[in-house]
């Protein structure tokens, strides 16, 4: 069992031990790892690392103390909105990864449903291919999830989604693309369903958000999936996947920034004064924000 040493160890020795520990890891630079690490070029990684180190110490919780971080964060969100179909009313939040982005979208939809629809324990309807994080978030948030079978092409079956909707349903969840199969759910059809039934539609574009728009520019037949699709209320997209930023860097975007009042946590019943956060985290590393900003630019 490791214990805190009585005397310090020279950094050169510690660095050697760190590198030795990594010898058993998968060789991701050689393409031997399909997930966890997204690597493009050494030059891009250097830009990401150097930008990260410029903001290694700053805390993104302190927006007044570190207006530089707030500026970088705002610009990254605005670039994400522009890339992913948001209009003049859109808003967003920088998060630590897809799990937090999806969690915040589901939390926002839950509080929206409680306030606007009077549903005490809301329900999510989604295809079975949707990411497990949705169930994880629902478990934390006191919600229920119903998963429906897929079509033969591994995409969501809109008819089965509609059949699963009941009076407690607040959200329909779709993927662009789905993590298990790499195919896009029919977002336009699901958006029309969500609008017809007055439901929140979240699009999980954690994998595709920073890849699909550029694949479309190359001529690939990428279907409509983003905030421009009628009925889409929120979208998650990871910059630390095919945006090639440092971990953890993700965005949760909203078609209407007014929805973010349901995302926010505010508390005043203690001696320190009002505490307000848009994310699950309190203190937040500024390095990933700087990395995302640099890589996107």
pLDDT given at position 22: 94
Q: How many CB atoms lie within 10 A of CB 162?
A: 16
- Domains, the chain, in order of start with CATH, read 51-296 (3.40.640.10)
Using one digit for the tens of pLDDT, what is the confidence trace for 131-178? 999 999 999 999 999 999 999 999 999 999 999 999 999 999 999 999
- Single pTM value for the model: 0.95
User: Which residues fall within 8 angstroms of residue 232, CB to CB, at 6 or more apart?
Assistant: 187, 191, 194, 201, 203, 226, 255
CA distance to 126, 159, 178, 182, 228, per residue, from 156 (Å): 8, 9, 10, 12, 20
Q: Which residues of the chain have pLDDT under 50?
A: none
CA distance 224 to 236: 15
Q: What is the pLDDT of residue 9?
A: 93
| pLDDT score recorded for residue 82 | 98
Whole-number pLDDT of residue 221: 95
Q: What is the pLDDT of residues 85-122, one digit of tens each?
A: 999 999 999 999 999 999 999 999 999 999 999 999 99
- How far apart CA 279 and CA 100 sit, in angstroms, is 8
Pairing, β 265-267 against β 275-277? antiparallel
Q: Which two tokens stand for residue 154?
A: 């591994």
Cis peptide before 87 (omega within 30 of 0): no
User: Cα separation of 159 and 293, whole Å?
Assistant: 41
């Amino acid at each position: 069992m490791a214990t805190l040493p009585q005397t310090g160890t020279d950094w050169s020795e510690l660095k050697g031990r760190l590198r030795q520990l990594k010898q058993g890891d998968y060789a991701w630079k050689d393409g031997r790892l399909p997930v966890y690490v997204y690597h493009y070029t050494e030059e891009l990684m250097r830009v990401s690392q150097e930008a990260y180190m410029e903001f290694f110490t700053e805390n993104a919780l302190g927006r007044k103390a570190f207006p530089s971080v707030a500026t970088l964060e705002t610009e990254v969100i605005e670039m994400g909105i522009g890339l992913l179909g948001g209009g003049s009313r859109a808003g967003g939040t920088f998060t630590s990864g897809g799990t937090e982005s999806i969690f915040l979208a589901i939390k926002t939809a839950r509080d929206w449903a409680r306030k606007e629809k009077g549903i005490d324990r809301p329900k999510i309807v989604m295809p079975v291919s949707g990411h497990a994080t949705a169930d994880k978030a629902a478990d934390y948030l006191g919600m229920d999830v119903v998963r429906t079978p897929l079509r033969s092409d591994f995409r969501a079956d809109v008819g089965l989604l509609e059949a699963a909707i009941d009076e407690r349903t607040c959200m329909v969840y779709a993927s662009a693309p789905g993590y298990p199969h790499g195919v896009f759910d029919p977002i336009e059809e699901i958006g029309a369903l969500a609008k017809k039934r007055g439901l929140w539609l979240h699009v999980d574009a954690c994998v595709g958000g920073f890849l699909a728009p550029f694949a479309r520019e190359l001529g690939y037949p990428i279907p409509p999936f983003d905030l421009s699709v009628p009925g889409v209320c929120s979208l998650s997209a990871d910059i630390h996947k095919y945006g090639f930023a440092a971990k953890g860097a993700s965005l949760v975007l909203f078609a209407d920034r007014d929805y973010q009042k349901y995302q926010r946590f505010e508390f005043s019943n203690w001696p320190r004064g009002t505490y307000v956060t848009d994310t699950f985290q309190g203190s937040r590393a500024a390095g990933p924000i700087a990395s995302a900003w640099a890589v996107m630019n």
